[in-house]
Amino acid sequence: MCHAWPAHSICEACVGAFAQPLVRCTTCALPVAPGVHQCGACILQAPPLDACLAALQYAYPWSDLVADFKFHQRPGWAASFASLMRAAPWVEPALDAADVLLPMPLSQERLRERGYNQSHVLARALEPSKVACNVLLRIKDTPPQRTLHRDQRLRMVQNAFAVDPLKVSRIAGKRLVLLDDVMTSGASLHAAARVLRGAGAAHITGLVLSRTE
């Protein structure tokens, strides 16, 4: 980030300058005032997630690095991002308590285009022993979320996810962490969480590398 090229991709000085933890709503991970546990929107309408955690704000310099990781064939960023996520408050306890870590799936069209699922790569760097792939499936391709308004995002992700019926036992009655790289409106995470809840998940924590405001 600072181009000082230390031994690690992200040096301590940059972490100190750009990765300080924020007080966040416990169920949608938006920044809130100190002492506040939930934002007003989550109090009025509870999200389908039991908890939601974000390591970083989707802003400079992270937005550029996430784009490199996601779109420019830089999966090597996963190790540094995983370290930053584990350093964020409450992430370690959530991973320790989880039975299964589920990366958000890509559609087959998007996977062929990109060559890898960035959430899967990140999950393998974060907690490989708990990663379960091809349990949660994306069965409908949708346009990139960043191009859509919130109401469009909500409509587009309806019926976009499913649980493999042969693998329901992997999640029924289990504590899950649902992992994604970026959370904007939460439409995709919420749609996936509803499907997982319908398949019998006991507890679902959304975990994202970065969160927009």
Residue appearing with tokens 């959304």: 206
pLDDT at 144 over 70: no
- Classified as helix, coil or strand, 198 is helix
pLDDT at 2 over 90: no
Strands (E) across 20-152 are located at 51-57, 100-103, 136-138
Measured between alpha carbons, how far is 194 from 141 in angstroms, rounded to an integer?
Answer: 18
The mean-pLDDT minimum among 12-16, 44-48, 152-156 falls in 152-156
Percentage of the residues of the chain whose pLDDT score is greater than 70: 91
Higher pLDDT, 205 or 107: 205
Higher pLDDT, 174 or 149: 174
15: buried, middle or exposed (CB in 10 Å: 19+, 13-18, 0-12)? middle
Which residues make Cβ contacts (< 8 Å) with residue 155, sequence separation at least 6?
none
Domains annotated for the chain, with CATH where assigned, are 22-211 (3.40.50)
174-183 burial: b if 16+ Cβ within 10 Å, else e: bbbbbbbbbb
pLDDT for 95-133, tens place per residue?
Answer: 999 999 999 999 888 898 889 999 999 999 999 999 999
